[in-house]
Structure 1
């Protein structure tokens, strides 16, 4: 298996070292207890397993996995689950390789879905490797400080596993291969074990308590980034706010740069490059399908504005099924710390193309500033990781913001377009699979409105619908257009996921804001204290506000209007 360097790990280690921490450890021993042996050690072990597994959605899996750990080091409990999850992912990856050979001359849809699975499972392996590096490289104190980074990687594993499963149609040869991967290949086991790992992280205080460990953490105060005074940003990064930095390479269709295509510019990324790699894309319409792969972190790409620098494509699922949703993306990002500014990403397949992605991101961290994402169904695929989208335009029809990531959209224009006859518009379809993963889409201080000519009676519009069991969408401090139906949210199928999804609002305005008529299965209106959990400093800080500061992109750390 290929090993890769993940800059996010290095960043976290540096941040972890920089944070002042005081650790107080109290560990009592009875005369009959020497480490993990004896009845006292057994009792402590049982207490730890019970504390973590109580209330788990996969309690037996949790108890079986943690019960086999013979250690008094809390870190070993996390490592045990990760090791077991890795075994399952590798098994599924090996199965996908085998299936690829078996179906080499088979149905095109089957082959495409298997190839997508291979890529996705490799990404899951990479995320688990990053988690293992953190566990091996730190003590329980540093791990406790960085549980949210671990949570991000585990949430990505869940997303990749589910994307693999969803890539197959529910009929014919595709269903047969999918079911093989799900059972014999162990896709189902990946989800269960990743959920158990999230249980361990969520219950880390219980785990420490079971081993009589008391951690007191003192974190130095940290000034929050403000639009009007981002003076605490590193000088080199502050340049992103004003004049753009000197590019490493320039892309220009007229030959005035080093490259004529964005794809070639990305390929020029030097091996073992340190620091930012800056790509300037001059005005033009670029008909290509660039990929920023995971071996190319810290790319900053800027254009001359989203109406001048446009990356366009028309790949789509229908009518000939030449592509899957995953591979329909005009632009795809997997490299960590990707930043884009002043670029338009579009998919022109139209409503008849059904799923047709303009941009897909699975980067651990990515940020988009003053960009545009234009499409119809499935425009913006925030597949995995953590995303900040600021001052952007997002247009679409059905589920046009979707994925299973932690995404915060601020100060943006969200525009509902006219779909096909009798179709309904849905802004968000979040795919969160586990409530402990910390994923969901938050839209703050953003205008949600229709394009001219959209008739709410012909094409009803909704804020969200529950794509997966723990789908989450929060709308706050945003003006909502009157085309949004009074009930606000739409079921997926019957009453599926209505008891577990989480759709809520806070301090919205406009004719489409109708709190008294929202569906009863939603979560209604949040209090200010509840809504504060979804502001940048709380929703993204656990994942590292320092990464946000390093982008140089302004963001609102808290509420903007109340």
Structure 2
């Protein structure tokens, strides 16, 4: 076996040397994949930085690597420099906050502080796992979250002067993080070419490799033995987990509010914590803090168990703070729950559900609002068999999210408004994020139906420079305009965005009169396959263990 590894590695070295001529990887007999040493030449840093936008900075960052550098050493070199910049940016945010005027900017700076703290957590996670070569897909996702924090931070500051200063303070963080994603992606490509056993997919992601936080039996390490057995049994959708806590407005449970149940969660617990919320309308603002990971919350149905609120931007509340239900903790699952914001179209930005965490799953849920109703802010998310309704940009954020087998309902906005289903916030080219709508139905609500041709409705518009959205294998109602997509502000992002359609059907699916932007394309099956739950989310490593139905590939 050792002889076979050496021969295979030697052949791969010859191949890579012939193709790129600048880098070789040797594997000592008996070493683990993550122990592979990068034998560098004078051009090896240049090779690792080949995808970087800021190449000179990237090569300078890797100037310390040498012939003894491991993959972990390279990742640490790329990430450590970011941590200092995040700390400097936090200090600048604190200083600028003193000049904030009005509640919107005040909320915005508080949000920025939270996001930069989250960025530090994500960077620390990468550094802690840097030697684990099986987690390259996780590293790209976590680093992408760092950039999404910067994007959402800037978007929350209304003052033009303060926004300019804040942008300058965050610039180095953005440059270094985008470079780090490019470096990790390059490592994945080289590892795949040399067959290092990391289970790297064509696009650099990890498919079928070690599970997210995996234990010895392949299930995530946070799962209890009972939970693993339960999920492995593939229970039907009527499954109800035995709850740790029961919430009921009528007093028949241990708690009358969801917040009280969350407060009572133990600070340390093993496995998944389960909260059952009985039927009722719960008028409360809920935040699942980041110290409460691996929470499963389920109700009696999305029209029976409803969490509701009406905070909105028009009344002076920052967009992120309008969320009725926010998730900050990784490994979150919601089943058979309803999340609403009832501010109406006149409230402008008014979020029903915000996801600022990695590896979240929603199943058989409703997310109802108007503008900005669903905010998959950052991280990787899988949404299945849900209903999502709204008007303007009602699915927005800078996450990697696949929405599958769901009903997407466009509602009636104010008479002078239009409808856009999505507004993705990808702000740098190397971020591993995007909104994917797969095998869904996009239709008007009954109140919009009579005016569906009068009120313009589009699939999306580019919130940020590299906005990325794919609509595939879905039924598009006749309310979708022939041009399909809408501008944000003139020619902004039209050449740099990535908007794609594949194998859609229905009266709104014709692409003959679609926009002629450089960034728009009708894609083939091969390209569409790169936007599946497995390829975009690394979903094979964690979605099956949520216990929900799913498709990791194209449906047809």
| TM bin (shorter chain) | 0.7 to 0.9
Q: Distance in 1 between matches of 2:506 and 2:196?
A: 47
SS in 2 for 1:449: strand
Cα shift at 1:459: 1.3
Cα shift at 1:271: 1.2
Cα shift at 1:432: 1.2
1:80 aligns with 2:61: no
Q: Distance in 2 between matches of 1:182 and 1:440?
A: 23
Q: 2:438 pairs with 438, 444, 467, which one?
A: 444
Q: Distance in 2 between matches of 1:363 and 1:68?
A: 33
The aligned counterpart of 2:420 is 426
TM-score (structure 1 length as normaliser): 0.84
SS in 1 for 2:259: helix
TM-score (structure 2 length as normaliser): 0.85
The aligned counterpart of 2:385 is 391
1:536 aligns with 2:533: yes
Cα shift readout 1:222-277 (whole Å, capped 9, x = no counterpart) = 9x9xxxxxxxx932224574320111000011111111110111111111111011
- TM alignment of 1:47-58, pairs within 5 A: 47-58=43-54
The aligned counterpart of 1:464 is 460
Residues 69 and 393 of structure 1: CA distance in aligned 2, closer, same or farther (over 3 Å)? same
- TM alignment of 1:179-198, pairs within 5 A: 179-183=164-168, 186-198=169-181
The aligned counterpart of 1:281 is 277
Q: Distance in 1 between matches of 2:350 and 2:191?
A: 47
Which runs of 4 or more aligned residues in structure 1 lie more than 4 Å from their structure 2 counterparts after TM superposition? Answer: 21-28, 68-71, 205-209, 216-222
Cα shift at 1:217: 4.7
The aligned counterpart of 1:215 is 196
Residues 25 and 546 of structure 1: CA distance in aligned 2, closer, same or farther (over 3 Å)? same
Cα shift at 1:497: 0.8
Maintained 8 Å contact 1:168/1:178? yes
Residues 284 and 214 of structure 1: CA distance in aligned 2, closer, same or farther (over 3 Å)? closer
Q: Can you give the 5+ residue segments of structure 1 that lack an aligned partner in the other structure?
A: 1-20, 29-34, 36-40, 225-232
Residues 279 and 421 of structure 1: CA distance in aligned 2, closer, same or farther (over 3 Å)? same
Residues 395 and 218 of structure 1: CA distance in aligned 2, closer, same or farther (over 3 Å)? closer
Q: Can you give the 5+ residue segments of structure 2 that lack an aligned partner in the other structure?
A: 15-25, 27-36, 201-206, 212-226
1:177 aligns with 2:153: no
Maintained 8 Å contact 1:52/1:207? no
Q: Distance in 2 between matches of 1:313 and 1:294?
A: 22
The aligned counterpart of 2:217 is none
1:407 aligns with 2:401: yes
The aligned counterpart of 1:355 is 349
- TM alignment of 1:70-109, pairs within 5 A: 72-73=68-69, 74-100=71-97, 102-103=98-99, 107-109=102-104
SS in 1 for 2:42: helix
The aligned counterpart of 1:254 is 250
Cα shift readout 1:332-365 (whole Å, capped 9, x = no counterpart) = 0011110001111000011111100000001111
Cα shift at 1:520: 1.5
Maintained 8 Å contact 1:69/1:77? yes
Q: 1:331 pairs with 314, 320, 325, which one?
A: 325
Cα shift at 1:112: 1.6
Residues 49 and 249 of structure 1: CA distance in aligned 2, closer, same or farther (over 3 Å)? same
Total equivalences in the alignment: 501
Q: Distance in 2 between matches of 1:197 and 1:42?
A: 17
Cα shift at 1:476: 1.1
Q: 2:553 pairs with 538, 549, 558, which one?
A: 558
Cα shift at 1:98: 3.6
Cα shift at 1:414: 0.2
Q: Distance in 1 between matches of 2:38 and 2:238?
A: 60
Q: Distance in 2 between matches of 1:461 and 1:343?
A: 27
Cα shift at 1:121: 0.6
The aligned counterpart of 2:34 is none
Q: Distance in 1 between matches of 2:452 and 2:484?
A: 13
